[in-house]
Each structure stands twice: as structure tokens, then as C-alpha cells.
Amino acid sequence: MELKAIPRSHKDKLPQGYIPAVAYNKERSVPIAIEARAFDVVFRSQSTHGLVELTLEGQEPLPAIVKSVQMDKRKRTVAHADFYLATYGQEIEARVPVHTGGKPRGVTDQGGILDVLVHNLAIIAPGPRRIPDEIVVDVTSLGIGDVIRAGDLQLPEGCRIAIDADVAILAVVQPQKMVSAEEVDLGDAVEGGGDA
């Protein structure tokens, strides 16, 4: 997705409707301003894993991903955005959403609960255009007690995980039994509570 940006200095007053941002990598840092509404549209669709083409007038587009966003808690609006400048053909680390496919047999047949422990997985992609939109995990064969770890995931060709392979991503667990008031023996609590 394309996002228009204008150069800024730290002393410049921003045009109405723009927010400050910075695009950086190991070699350089470029202070910019971006239109708040346009950024909102891009961020809602791309989040922190999709490739954004930052376009500055008179310059080549800069491929980047959103690295972090600072929010104005009072106004509930974006106050500042950081973009990591990528280079085509070079590896890049990104966080990609993890989604499940199917219903686990441990849920449908055994009454378990699917517990997703990692919602965004850190991966290393071979280039910015090779960052997947999502990682879909087939959970249909999972029973109660089964766990899928980072090392078990099938990633697109050339991608690899950027976390320990033993990290649990999701599991099917036994539901916790809720105890009703009738099942609790309140005898001791009532007897011991009369001295106050």
C-alpha cells in the first residue's frame, strides 16, 4: 500500500491533519509527517506486518513496515508512528498474525477449549515482499492436551521463525470446572466468622 509522506524537521509545525513519524534503519533516519486519516486506513489493513510504500515528493518510494505506534490516550488517536525501512532482497523481521483453520476434535468431541497463546508470531522473511499476510494453523486433529509449538509451524518458503522453536503457540486444554455455591462447604467459614 502506498502512503504519502512529507519531509519535516523537528522545528516545523505540522500541517493540519498530519502526524509526526520517522522512517529508519541501521544506515539512516528520515523524519516525516503523514496524513493521519491515510495512516489509519493503512494501519487497519496492514498492521505491523504489511509492506508500505512511503512516497516523498521527488524521491524514490521507500519500502517500510510499521514498527510501532504511539497513541494519544486522551484523544484515542495516533500521536506518532515509527517505520522500519526495508531493502528489497534483504531479510527482514516482522510480526505476522496467527490464525486457526478448522475446529479441533478436542473441542468438538471432548469439550476442550482452544487456547491461542501467540497471536502475532515473529518471523524472518527473505525480503519485504515475502512477508506473509498471516500464518494459518490447521487444528482439526488436535485433542485435549495437544500443543503446537513454533517449530511445528509450516511457514512459506524462505521464511523462518524468529523465536525459540519450543515456544507454545496454541493448545487444546481441559476446561476449568466452575464450582457452584451449593458445592462449597461453608460450615467452617460460618463457624469461624462469628467473633468479629
Domain positions in the chain: 2-85, 92-173
Upper half-sphere CA count for residue 32 (Cβ side, 13 Å):
27
Q: What is the pLDDT of residues 89-137, one digit of tens each?
A: 899 999 999 999 999 999 999 999 999 999 999 999 999 889 998 999 9
Which fold, 92-173?
RNA Polymerase Alpha Subunit; Chain A, domain 2 (2.170.120)
Length of the chain (residues):
196
Beta bridge partners of 84: 24, 65
Long-range contacts of range 160-168, CB-CB < 8 Å, 24 or more positions apart?
160/123, 160/124, 161/121, 161/122, 161/123, 161/124, 162/93, 162/122, 162/123, 162/124, 163/121, 163/122, 167/118, 168/117, 168/118
Helix (H, G, I), strand (E, B) or coil at 88: coil
- The torsion angles phi and psi of 3, rounded to 5 degrees, stand at -135, 120
Query: How far is CA 96 from each of CA 71, 125, 189, rounded to the nearest angstrom?
Result: 21, 10, 50
Upper half-sphere CA count for residue 10 (Cβ side, 13 Å):
1
Confidence of residue 183 (pLDDT cuts 50, 70, 90): low
Q: What is the mean pLDDT of the chain?
A: 87
What local confidence, expressed as pLDDT, does residue 176 receive?
79
What local confidence, expressed as pLDDT, does residue 174 receive?
92
Rg of the chain taking only CA atoms, in angstroms: 24
Contact 139, 104 (CB under 8 A): yes
> Looking at this protein, which amino acid is placed at residue 13?
K
Which fold, 2-85?
Ribosomal Protein L25; Chain P (2.40.240)
Question: Is residue 144 scored above 60 in pLDDT?
Answer: yes
% pLDDT > 70, the chain: 90
Beta bridge partners of 4: 55
Q: What is the pLDDT of residues 58-87, one digit of tens each?
A: 788 889 999 989 988 888 888 999 999 998
Question: Is residue 184 scored above 60 in pLDDT?
Answer: no
How far is Cα 56 from Cα 38, in angstroms, rounded to an integer?
14
What mean pLDDT do residues 3-12 have? 85
What local confidence, expressed as pLDDT, does residue 196 receive?
45
Confidence of residue 191 (pLDDT cuts 50, 70, 90): very low
